[in-house]
Amino acid sequence: MSDPILFTRDLWVRVHDPNGGGSPIAVVRGANIELQRGATTCLVGESGSGKTVLMRALLGISGARPGVTAGTAWARPDGSEFPVPLVGPRKRWRGRALPSLRPGWAGYVFQHPSHSLDPLLRVGDQVGASVTIAHSGLTPAAVKRRVLHWLETVHLPNPEAVAQLFPHELSGGMAQRVAIAIALATEPDLLVADEPTTGLDWSVRRDIVDLLGELCRARGMSLLLISHDFQVVEHIADQLYVMFRGELVEDGPRRAFFEPGPGSHPYTRELQARSRALEEGSSPPRLHLAEQPTSSGAGCVYAHRCPWIREPSPERSALGERCRSVRPPDFRPSSDHRVRCIAVGEPT
Ligand code: SF4
């Protein structure tokens, strides 16, 4: 049964053109995303696809200007539903004050822990600051007990000693565990982890992903994992969204992506092929970056890279023209699986 803790309807985020063009550029285009309570949702796409912009906008920590220009987001922290104030300081809803989300209801694990941790503060003080967001009025001894609890929860050996360290004294894996402890210490309902395994060895990456899954299951917490890596995602996802150039081009449950089925988006296939190649140590498929997307906004956002246009089968020889001029409709291989492509589902 659908029980989202956070969802959006047709959300658009725009930024000013860095080249000084007149109109802001859409970096998130009509996103409809649902994060189910207690489940792991993965948002997958290459760098620059808009994943982080979307989630920062949603959590109200986006620096994008003008930012969210259309659409809505809704939070259901305890089952009752109310709008997230995305656009401006929205104070009232249905004639009454907008219910505010509990401070720390969403925890955020940033991409590079070495950047997000304060280099001048000991680990214990940083975790302690999060503890006091969830619980005001604690004695210093009670804060310390909770700090050690959270460091232990993320499987850091000898929490007493780790609490005394400064960030530069931590390995990459330890720093990421500390960042997770800081996010957990606010006791969030939703944990957002943005590329939490970037730059880590595969064995450490696997440990971190396993840890996130274990923590969410144990606490009934929702997890949103942002990643470019299908290897990581396969390990943990209940639900996936694939994003390319600001558009969610495919979404569905894990079986739609990792079990044989009626078809997936060509971009999803490209990401999966790249992850497989990296896992096997072979060269990933070459990206066709020379060709630029059309600026008109018409047609499919992936048309300039789509292999089904670049090397069409005889049945798909007329596809290119359609794909460049018509916005692809959503194809639904099943009621819970959506693919934004003209050709998936057509005979090949
Ligand atoms: S709509 Fe066309 S260009 Fe876009 S992914 Fe499908 S086949 Fe490729």
- Kindly report, residue by residue over 200-234, the tens digit of the pLDDT: 887 788 888 889 999 999 999 999 999 988 888 98
pLDDT for residue 54 is more than 60: yes
Is any atom of ligand 1 closer than 6 Å to the C-beta of 301? no
Comparing 313 with 103, the larger pLDDT belongs to: 313
Residue 43 pLDDT? 97
Residue to mutate, 300, 324, 338, 346, ligand 1, most ligand atoms under 8 Å from C-beta: 300
CA angle 252, 254, 260 (to 5 degrees): 95
pLDDT one-digit tens code per residue, 81-98: 777 765 444 444 455 554
pLDDT for residue 286 is more than 70: no
Residue 91 pLDDT? 45
Residue to mutate, 294, 306, 326, 327, ligand 1, most ligand atoms under 8 Å from C-beta: 306
Q: Which of 1-5, 41-45, 251-255, 283-287 has the lowest mean pLDDT?
A: 283-287
Share of the chain above pLDDT 90, in %: 46
Burial class (CB in 10 A: 0-12, 13-18, 19+), 177: buried
Residue nearest to atom 6 of ligand 1 (CA): 341
What integer best gives the mean pLDDT of the chain? 85
Is any atom of ligand 1 closer than 6 Å to the C-beta of 339? no
Confidence of residue 99 (pLDDT cuts 50, 70, 90): low
| Pair 88, 113: CB distance under 8 Å | no
Residue nearest to atom 1 of ligand 1 (CA): 341
Q: Which amino acid is at 334?
A: S
Comparing 300 with 101, the larger pLDDT belongs to: 300
**Token digits for 125?**
């003080």
pLDDT for residue 78 is more than 70: yes
Is any atom of ligand 1 closer than 6 Å to the C-beta of 303? yes
Residue 72 pLDDT? 83
Burial class (CB in 10 A: 0-12, 13-18, 19+), 36: middle
**Token digits for 297?**
């906004």
Q: Where are the alpha helices (DSSP H) in the chain?
A: 51-58, 113-116, 123-134, 140-153, 159-163, 172-184, 202-219, 230-234, 254-258, 266-280, 307-310, 319-325
| Pair 109, 193: CB distance under 8 Å | yes
Quickly tell me which residue has 């499987």 as its tokens: 155
Domain boundaries, given as residue ranges, for the chain: 4-80+101-242, 252-340
Residue 101 pLDDT? 62
According to CATH, what is the number of the domain 4-80+101-242? 3.40.50.300
Confidence of residue 126 (pLDDT cuts 50, 70, 90): very high
Share of the chain above pLDDT 70, in %: 89
pLDDT for residue 252 is more than 70: yes
Q: Give me the mean pLDDT over the 167-183 stretch.
A: 93
Q: Which of 31-35, 70-74, 129-133 has the lowest mean pLDDT?
A: 70-74
